[in-house]
């Protein structure tokens, strides 16, 4: 959402454009919103809504306020003069959500907000409010690994595994990812100070990136090759081999990218195709 | 404004046969109750709903067409039912808000 | 509520008795239980029949479904195979012979014991471990709840399950053969029944994990049988007091508490674990390939092992002390003919009929993109939940509630932290 | 102007959003429908006489009345549960017979359902249904197609009916209605 107006549009400008009543949050009208999400379908709001948005909706129900809160929206604007019930206001008040009630219908309200564009001195703030509407089915998780913390080694791979199982990734693939993540995690615990692990999952690929701060690997090619020569068939049959971390990763991941700067750290990216 | 004149500037994709109708207003909602209460004949209905009962609602008040927004894919049974009752369904990748802004930008004003 | 078709469960749920304590929700290791609209509901495919809910519920909402003596009487020749746990239920001084006699008095024609096969399988396990060096650790299939847990939550570990049959099933097979031979009756006229210490065994007989058929014709609950046996056992004991020398009785290494299977396999790279909480931790480690140096894992669902089963009457610690006492009195070590056992092993006598396969459970969605969408919803909901796991929404944890919401099985407003209305519903 | 000679010009008035709650007694199989203004439907089963009511479905819907802007005649539609488009599922059903007859002239048949059980609720009279039909057709302003509204009692077997009812199911849940 980085556009010319990273701060977005102040709620008071929307409120005056719509001549909307401020139902909750009169003191918060200078807060900016960075996108507008116009929908009555709360499952979508929750899945695709961007944090910092304003929700325009005709669904006058507590679910609207709860979903907006969970998706980290800043405001809920009820259209067509719908006035939220006491329970909704109370919830919004508690959670710091601004609630407006506008008389316009959804199209008029959208058009007016988009039109604020023309009155702004700066170029096109409305562009900011229109982030590309990509309902991308991607999910990301981040984990931290502490180097030298042998007691917690394996925690990240256990979490990664649990996530993949819940999503319903095929068990054999889950295991490959878990083994690679475990090996990567062990490398961090043994050789680095700390690392950030990222899991990115979409419908065609699983990516695990382990970015560590540590001594680094002097010869990446050698590190990768060493395993190839020493790993026995038997260890391969087992799916792992003690001290065979990298080759084991290479065997279980579809794409491995290892880059390292001596004295700084190592970045290990492992990718797995989802069939 | 004619429905046919909106298809290309708004990058709409027709999923059914589209009769050339006059679009008199824009109605955005994902609730059939709202259609019952507030939609007008001749409105273009923007929604993310794709269940086949949208055909039932759009037909009752004789809306100009249904535009399924947010890039939702529309099940075949909905498209089939729409064709049977001469209800036009189009789809687009943009959000309700984005499409509103575009409609406004191409000069559409409700009657 | 009837369990969904497809998965047999060893208990029925009497909703009318449910007072909404929700103790069972927290105890369930697979999060298979929910309180929906003030009533208990079960997600059938998640349930592994461990019996934790039975033990947790003060109201008796979960009633075991077992066979009765009526079912036994349908057979012309009736054989009973007691769980070794049975002998630990009547005190340390009660003679096993009295218990066996009491069983015969209830209407059985024959009592067959698992002790010998438990010893024999120790030999077989050792041999199998030696011959098969691939997958490690190999996991015992003795506890049906653990086998189900693997099928449901650890499908990858199915290949670690040791494909050797268990003592009770082998005993049932041998007992039937023996009875047919002695009586001349056709095999179907011989009824072989097990006395189980937990519900998971009932399920393992009614719907074996390997989707074959059990060698048993039915299962009786130890708890149900206990009251019928007790007066008889006590009377027999009284009468037996006068009778001098104690009957020699082969009371071997029955597998009734944690460690006994490991002990049967022999020292070395064996690991024993009991209690589902601990089993789950060990399984996580195995999946991350942490325990590759372990050869054999004995994993039991109940704390302490089978003496802690939901159908057991005696306190598991007392039961264990009783068994130790019995073993000292009646001798636990009798030589087994290793060569004969190995010969039978090679002939396939101990092999499992069919391989055990994973049991698919409901994911967020079959379609991966939809599933990912639901996962995002779940994570967003979870991030904003109080994370106090109060259980008032009817789900055991906030995490489970978030997942239920994403699946459309619960409403956001069910969380009492978001809606006061929900409080009234729960406090009925 | 006299109400009987007035060419009514209908407006929708008294629009109220609420829930259409469908409950079933699992002992006798009887179905009961109610319009509820509570923000959440009843969650628990409850007893009422011989029946134990369980929630089958709760959908959002609206209730409204009609008012003639020329003569001020009001038509109370409290007895109207909802409208359903007949899509043709039972060839022996009278509604389907009508549908087949009217389809070539683009006259679409909708069923106006009343609440259940019938004896507990005021049922829609033919006059009210006629007024509703008139209102809808006036609202449509179409010269090429029209709407025919028939009473719910015309449906031969409600259990076999697969028409599309105008209501909002699952709006409050995270699972979209089409999944």
> C13-57 pLDDT, tens per residue?
888 888 888 889 988 988 899 988 777 888 888 888 888 898 888
- Which chains share 3+ C-beta pairs under 8 angstroms with A? B, C, D
> C322-348 pLDDT, tens per residue?
888 888 877 655 677 889 999 999 999
Number of domains composing chain B: 1
Mutate to test the interface with B, among D140, D148, D163 (most CBs of B within 10 A): D140
Cβ within 8 Å, pair A85-D174: no
C38 shares contact with chain D (CB less than 8 Å): yes
Cβ within 8 Å, pair C405-D44: no
Mutate to test the interface with B, among A8, A36, A38 (most CBs of B within 10 A): A38
Cβ within 8 Å, pair D85-B37: no
Query: Which residue among B28, B93, B94 sits closest to A106, beta carbon to beta carbon?
Result: B28
Cβ within 8 Å, pair B31-D60: yes
- Which chains share 3+ C-beta pairs under 8 angstroms with B? A, D
Which range marks the domain in which residue D133 is found?
A: 10-165
Mutate to test the interface with D, among A42, A43, A49, A89 (most CBs of D within 10 A): A43
Residue D175 lies in a domain: no
- What are phi and psi for residue C78, nearest 5 degrees? -115, 120
Min CA distance, C49 vs chain D (Å)?
Answer: 27
**A and D adjacent (3 or more CB pairs under 8 angstroms):** yes
> A115-165 pLDDT, tens per residue?
885 433 333 444 456 555 556 678 899 999 988 887 777 889 889 998 998
Cβ within 8 Å, pair A114-B104: yes
Measured between beta carbons, which residues in chain B are less than 8 angstroms from residue D85? 53, 55-56, 59-60, 85
**Selected residue with higher pLDDT from C228 and D171:** C228
pLDDT for C30 equals 87
pLDDT of residue C264 exceeding 60, the answer is yes
Cβ within 8 Å, pair A167-C155: no
Cβ within 8 Å, pair D173-C408: yes
Mean pLDDT check: name the lowest of B70-79, D3-12, D140-149.
D3-12
Min CA distance, B6 vs chain A (Å)?
Answer: 16
C365 shares contact with chain D (CB less than 8 Å): yes
pLDDT of residue D137 exceeding 90, the answer is yes
Query: Which residue among B41, B60, B86 sits closest to D83, beta carbon to beta carbon?
Result: B60
Min CA distance, A204 vs chain D (Å)?
Answer: 21
Q: Which residue of chain C is at minimal alpha-carbon distance from D176?
A: C408
Confidence tier at C297 by pLDDT (50, 70, 90): very high
D172 shares contact with chain C (CB less than 8 Å): yes
Measured between beta carbons, which residues in chain D are less than 8 angstroms from residue C39? 44-45
pLDDT for A241 equals 38
Residue B110 lies in a domain: no
On the 0-12 / 13-18 / 19+ scale of CB atoms within 10 A, A196 is middle
The Cα-based distances of C411 to A90, C37, C339, D43 in angstroms read 19, 11, 63, 11
Distance CA A98, CA A91 (A): 11
Distance CA D38, CA A127 (A): 40
Which range marks the domain in which residue B21 is found?
A: 4-105
**Selected residue with higher pLDDT from C319 and C334:** C319
Cβ within 8 Å, pair A87-D39: yes
* Domain CATH for B93: 3.40.1390.20
- Which chains share 3+ C-beta pairs under 8 angstroms with D? A, B, C
Q: What's this model's pTM, rounded to 2 decimal places?
A: 0.76
**B and C adjacent (3 or more CB pairs under 8 angstroms):** no
Confidence tier at C369 by pLDDT (50, 70, 90): confident
Confidence tier at C71 by pLDDT (50, 70, 90): very high
Min CA distance, D85 vs chain B (Å)?
Answer: 6
Query: Which residue among C37, C38, C377 sits closest to D174, beta carbon to beta carbon?
Result: C377
Q: Percentage of residues in chain C with pLDDT exceeding 70? A: 91
Residue D172 lies in a domain: no
pLDDT for C211 equals 65
Number of domains composing chain D: 1
CB A39 within 8 A of CB A135: no
Cβ within 8 Å, pair D174-A59: no
B30 shares contact with chain D (CB less than 8 Å): yes
Cβ within 8 Å, pair B29-A106: yes
Residue B111 lies in a domain: no
Cβ within 8 Å, pair C411-D172: yes
Question: What structural domains and CATH numbers belong to chain A?
Answer: 2-114 (3.40.1390.20), 139-273 (3.30.565.10)
ipTM at complex level = 0.73
Confidence tier at D65 by pLDDT (50, 70, 90): very high
pLDDT for D161 equals 83
Number of Cβ within a 10 Å radius of residue A55: 29
Strand D46-48 relative to strand D164-165, pairing: unpaired
Residue B69 lies in a domain: yes
Confidence tier at C428 by pLDDT (50, 70, 90): very low
CB A145 within 8 A of CB A210: yes
Residue B101 lies in a domain: yes
Mean pLDDT by 10 residues, chain B (111 residues): 93 93 94 93 95 94 95 92 95 91 89 78
Min CA distance, A59 vs chain D (Å)?
Answer: 8
The pLDDT of C270-291, averaged and rounded, is 88
- Joined tokens for residue A14: 């929307």
Q: Which residue of chain A is at minimal alpha-carbon distance from D171?
A: A41
With a CB cutoff of 8 Å and minimum separation 6, the contacts of C168 are: C81, C83, C114, C194, C201, C216
Number of Cβ within a 10 Å radius of residue C402: 27
- What are phi and psi for residue D25, nearest 5 degrees? -90, 115
Number of Cβ within a 10 Å radius of residue C290: 18
B38 shares contact with chain A (CB less than 8 Å): yes
pLDDT for D125 equals 92
Cβ within 8 Å, pair B41-D140: yes
Measured between beta carbons, which residues in chain B are less than 8 angstroms from residue A59? 30-31
Residue B93 lies in a domain: yes
Cβ within 8 Å, pair A158-C136: no
pLDDT for C14 equals 87
Measured between beta carbons, which residues in chain A are less than 8 angstroms from residue B91? none
Min CA distance, A47 vs chain C (Å)?
Answer: 5
Distance CA C194, CA C79 (A): 9
The pLDDT of C76-90, averaged and rounded, is 94
D 44-63 residues with CB below 8 A of C?
44-45, 55
Measured between beta carbons, which residues in chain D are less than 8 angstroms from residue C38? 43-44
Within chain A, which residues score under 50 in pLDDT? 1-5, 118-127, 228-232, 234-242
The pLDDT of D54-80, averaged and rounded, is 91
Measured between beta carbons, which residues in chain D are less than 8 angstroms from residue A60? 17
Q: Which residue of chain A is at minimal alpha-carbon distance from D177?
A: A41
Confidence tier at C3 by pLDDT (50, 70, 90): very low
Confidence tier at D41 by pLDDT (50, 70, 90): low
**Selected residue with higher pLDDT from C243 and B34:** B34
pLDDT of residue C426 exceeding 60, the answer is no
Measured between beta carbons, which residues in chain D are less than 8 angstroms from residue A41? 171, 176
C366 shares contact with chain D (CB less than 8 Å): no
B41 shares contact with chain D (CB less than 8 Å): yes
Burial A127-136 (b: 16+ CB within 10 A, else e): ebbbbebeee
The pLDDT of C48-72, averaged and rounded, is 88
Query: Which residue among C37, C408, C428 sits closest to D174, beta carbon to beta carbon?
Result: C408
B 46-75 residues with CB below 8 A of A?
46, 48-49, 69-72
> C133-172 pLDDT, tens per residue?
888 899 999 999 999 999 988 888 999 999 999 999 999 9
Cβ within 8 Å, pair B103-A107: yes
With a CB cutoff of 8 Å and minimum separation 6, the contacts of C224 are: C64, C66, C68, C311
C428 shares contact with chain D (CB less than 8 Å): yes
């Amino acid at each position: 959402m980085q556009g010319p107006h990273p701060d977005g549009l102040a709620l008071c400008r929307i409120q005056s454009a719509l001549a909307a009543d401020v139902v909750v949050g009169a003191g918060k009208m200078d807060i900016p919103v960075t996108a507008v999400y116009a929908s009555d379908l709360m499952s979508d709001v929750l899945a695709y809504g961007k944090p910092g948005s304003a929700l325009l909706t005709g669904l006058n129900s507590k679910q609207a306020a709860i979903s907006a809160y969970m998706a980290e929206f800043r405001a809920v604007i009820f259209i067509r003069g719908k006035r939220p019930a006491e329970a909704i206001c109370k919830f919004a008040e508690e959670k710091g959500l601004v609630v407006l009630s506008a008389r316009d219908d959804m199209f008029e309200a959208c058009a007016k907000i988009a039109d604020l564009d023309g009155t702004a001195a700066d170029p096109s703030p409305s562009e900011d409010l229109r982030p590309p509407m990509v309902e991308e089915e991607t999910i990301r998780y981040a984990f931290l690994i502490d180097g030298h913390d042998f007691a917690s080694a394996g925690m990240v791979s256990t979490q990664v595994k649990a996530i993949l199982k819940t999503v319903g990734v095929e068990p054999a693939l889950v295991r490959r990812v878990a083994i690679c993540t475990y090996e990567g995690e062990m490398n961090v615990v043994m050789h680095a100070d700390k690392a950030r692990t990222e899991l990115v999952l979409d419908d065609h690929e699983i990516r695990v990136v382990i970015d560590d701060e540590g001594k680094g690997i002097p010869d990446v090619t050698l590190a990768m090759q060493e395993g190839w020569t020493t790993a026995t068939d038997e260890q391969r049959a087992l799916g792992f081999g003690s001290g065979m971390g990298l080759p084991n990763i290479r065997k279980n991941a579809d794409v491995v990218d290892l880059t390292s700067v001596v004295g700084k750290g190592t970045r290990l990216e492992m990718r797995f195709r989802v069939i | 404004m004619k429905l046919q004149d909106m298809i290309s500037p708004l990058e709409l994709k027709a999923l059914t046969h589209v009769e050339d109708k006059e679009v008199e207003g824009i109605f955005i909602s994902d609730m059939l109750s709202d259609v019952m209460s507030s939609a007008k004949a001749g409105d273009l209905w923007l929604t993310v709903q794709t269940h086949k009962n949208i055909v039932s609602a759009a037909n009752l008040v004789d809306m100009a067409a249904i535009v399924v927004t947010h890039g939702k894919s529309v099940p075949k049974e909905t498209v089939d039912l729409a064709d049977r009752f001469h209800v036009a369904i189009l789809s687009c990748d943009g959000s309700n808000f984005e499409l509103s802004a575009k409609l406004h930008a191409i000069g559409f004003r409700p009657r | 509520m009837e369990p969904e078709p497809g998965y047999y469960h060893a208990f029925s749920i009497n909703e009318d008795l449910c007072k909404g304590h929700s103790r069972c929700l927290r105890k369930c290791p697979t999060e298979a239980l929910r309180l929906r609209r003030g009533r208990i509901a079960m997600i059938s495919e998640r349930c592994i029949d461990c019996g934790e809910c039975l033990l947790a519920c003060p109201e008796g909402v979960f009633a075991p479904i077992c066979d009765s003596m009526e079912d036994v009487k349908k057979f012309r020749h009736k054989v009973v195979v007691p769980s070794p746990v049975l002998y630990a239920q009547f005190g340390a001084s009660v003679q096993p012979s009295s218990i066996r006699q009491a069983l015969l008095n209830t209407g059985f024609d024959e009592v067959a014991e698992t002790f010998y096969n438990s010893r024999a399988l120790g030999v077989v396990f050792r041999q199998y471990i030696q011959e098969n060096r691939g997958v490690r650790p190999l996991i015992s299939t003795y506890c049906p709840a653990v086998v189900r847990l693997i099928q449901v939550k650890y499908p990858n570990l199915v290949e670690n399950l040791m494909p050797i049959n268990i003592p009770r099933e082998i005993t049932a097979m041998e007992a039937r053969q023996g009875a047919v031979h002695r009586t001349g009756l056709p095999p179907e006229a011989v009824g072989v029944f097990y006395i189980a210490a937990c519900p998971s065994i009932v399920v393992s007989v009614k719907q074996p994990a390997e989707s074959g058929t059990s060698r048993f014709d039915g299962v009786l609950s130890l708890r149900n049988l206990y009251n019928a046996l007790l007066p008889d056992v006590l009377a027999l004991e009284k009468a037996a007091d006068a009778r001098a020398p104690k009957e020699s009785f082969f009371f071997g290494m029955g597998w009734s508490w944690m460690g006994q299977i490991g002990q049967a396999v022999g020292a070395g790279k064996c690991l024993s674990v009991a209690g589902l909480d601990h089993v789950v931790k060990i399984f996580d480690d195995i999946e991350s390939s942490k325990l590759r140096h372990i050869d054999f894992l004995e994993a039991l669902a109940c704390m302490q092992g089978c003496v802690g089963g939901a159908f057991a009457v005696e306190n598991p610690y007392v039961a264990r002390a009783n068994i130790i006492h019995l073993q000292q009195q009646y001798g636990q070590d009798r030589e087994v003919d290793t060569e004969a056992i190995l010969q039978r092993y090679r002939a396939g006598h101990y092999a499992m009929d069919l391989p055990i396969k994973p049991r698919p459970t409901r994911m967020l969605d079959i379609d991966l993109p939809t599933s990912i969408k639901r996962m995002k919803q779940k994570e967003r909901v979870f991030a904003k939940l109080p994370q106090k796991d109060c259980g008032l929404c009817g789900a055991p944890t906030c995490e489970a509630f978030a997942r239920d919401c994403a699946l459309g099985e619960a409403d956001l407003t069910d969380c009492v932290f978001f809606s006061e209305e929900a409080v009234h519903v729960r406090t009925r | 102007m006299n109400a009987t000679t007035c060419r009514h010009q209908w407006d929708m008035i008294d629009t109220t959003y609420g829930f259409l709650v469908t409950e079933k007694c699992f002992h006798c199989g009887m179905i009961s429908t109610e319009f509820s203004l509570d923000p959440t439907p009843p969650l628990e089963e409850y007893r009422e006489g011989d029946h134990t009511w369980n929630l089958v479905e709760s959908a959002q819907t609206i209730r409204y009345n009609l008012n003639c802007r020329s003569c001020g005649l009001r038509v109370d539609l409290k007895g109207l549960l909802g409208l359903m488009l007949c899509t043709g599922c039972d060839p022996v059903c009278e509604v389907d017979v009508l549908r087949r007859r009217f389809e070539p002239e683009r006259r679409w048949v909708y069923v106006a359902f009343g609440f259940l059980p019938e004896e507990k609720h005021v049922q829609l009279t033919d006059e009210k249904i006629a007024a509703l039909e008139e209102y809808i057709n006036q609202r449509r302003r179409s010269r090429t197609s029209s709407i025919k509204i028939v009473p719910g009692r015309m449906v031969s077997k409600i259990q076999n009916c697969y028409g599309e009812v105008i209501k909002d199911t699952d709006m409050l849940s995270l699972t979209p209605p089409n999944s």
